[in-house]
Amino acid sequence: MKFTNLALKHIYASINTIPKDGNAPNDVQQLRTEIADEDMNNITKTILGKFSGDILQENKKPETLIFYFSEGDIKNPNIDNIIAISFFVSKDKNGLREHHLYTRNNNDNFTLIKNYTSSVGNFELGDVNLLASTILKDAKNVKWTLYNRLSSSVQSISSNQSDDFKRAILNNADFIPYASSITQQCTSFCVPYSNSGACDNNGNCYQDTGDGTCLASDLNVKSTRAKIKGLDIDFAHSFRDDVLSKTRKGNIYIDYYYKISRIATLNSAVSSDNLLEHINFAHKIYQTAQKFQEDSSNEIIIDEGTKNEFLNFIKYYKTLSNNKEYQQILSDLENDFKDLSGKTRAKVITYLDK
């Protein structure tokens, strides 16, 4: 069964390339469109017959639907090919929506995946690309079609409410996409199809993003730079560019840093309860990096105390997300730090190059 004769308005179709990473597909094809209330109600009525149980409470009609599939026409998806469906329904009068994800089960019906139930306001197209890629991780092609109710009128809401949706997607994914694929386009329910740049945490678009890799972690460093005395950010960048990037392991650690930062920032890893602990450990890592660059080849770079403190941080960060790649990265760092502990500078250099 196809959804034919829809009065499609304001169609925005594109193909976004997501870097090959873990189980991520090469391409995600998307179509976003607005349709009349009558068409949205007819689509809803059609698909509800494929669900077990009541999925929508009385008087709660979806304002937005997203169909995820791998085969068929993106402008006219066949319900038999649909693997999963996102429902966005109004939650309150302030513009907050609630997202519910349903996937097709073995009985050819759709069941709720509770891990993805979340509040949502503004969201990024890259987030939906990641959700689609996670759902269809074994498919050669990944497609999603978004239908937005034409009469929908929603106000912009705060970043925390938007992050709830983003957090649910990223924390349940198998991999962590690069920044350029997660922030390449903005969208919200009030301005659904803005393409002027990458989004900030408030759903606004940056006008000048360069290659699109301005991560939240970098933005956070810039905004708090003046508050953290004694930490030379220029030295940190120099250590990254002039030392780590010259070794095989060092390049891996740079990649790990940005991927961990993505999830850690989204899950509020640094709070008022542990801010001082993070700052103190940052100083210790800073001193370790200085020691690595300045000391003789016979000096021990990472002592037992630094190792144990690092392992405690790893243990804490592992509680933040179930993302499979994130967990694997932390385990790799845990093992490497154990190996590096007690080694001289000369042996650390050899280890980083192996």
What confidence tier does 38 reach under pLDDT thresholds 50, 70, 90? confident
Each residue's pLDDT tens digit, 50-60: 665 555 554 46
User: Which residue type, as a one-letter code, is found at position 28?
Assistant: V
**Model pLDDT, residue 311:** 96
**Model pLDDT, residue 313:** 95
Structure tokens that stand for 346 in this block: 């000369």
Contact 7, 121 (CB under 8 A): no
The overall average pLDDT reported for the chain is 74
Q: Which residue has the higher pLDDT, 294 or 172?
A: 172
How far from 244 is each of 68, 240, 254, 349, CA to CA, in Å?
Answer: 40, 5, 7, 10
Each residue's pLDDT tens digit, 80-121: 899 999 998 887 666 678 899 999 888 778 888 999 999 887
Q: Which residue has the higher pLDDT, 23 or 289?
A: 289
Each residue's pLDDT tens digit, 125-142: 777 888 888 888 878 788
**Model pLDDT, residue 2:** 57
In DSSP terms, which residues pair with 163 in a beta bridge?
A: none
**Model pLDDT, residue 39:** 87
Residues 6+ apart with CB under 8 A from 154: 63, 95, 97, 121, 188, 189, 190
Q: What is the pTM of this model?
A: 0.68
Name the residue with tokens 């030295």.
235
- Of 35, 45, 88, nearest in space to 66 by CA: 88
The mean per-residue pLDDT over the stretch 266-285 comes to 84
Distance (Å, whole) CA 292 – CA 306: 14
Each residue's pLDDT tens digit, 325-336: 999 999 999 999
Residue 243 backbone class (left: φ over 0; alpha: ψ -120 to 50; beta: rest) = alpha
Distance (Å, whole) CA 304 – CA 282: 17
Distance (Å, whole) CA 147 – CA 32: 6
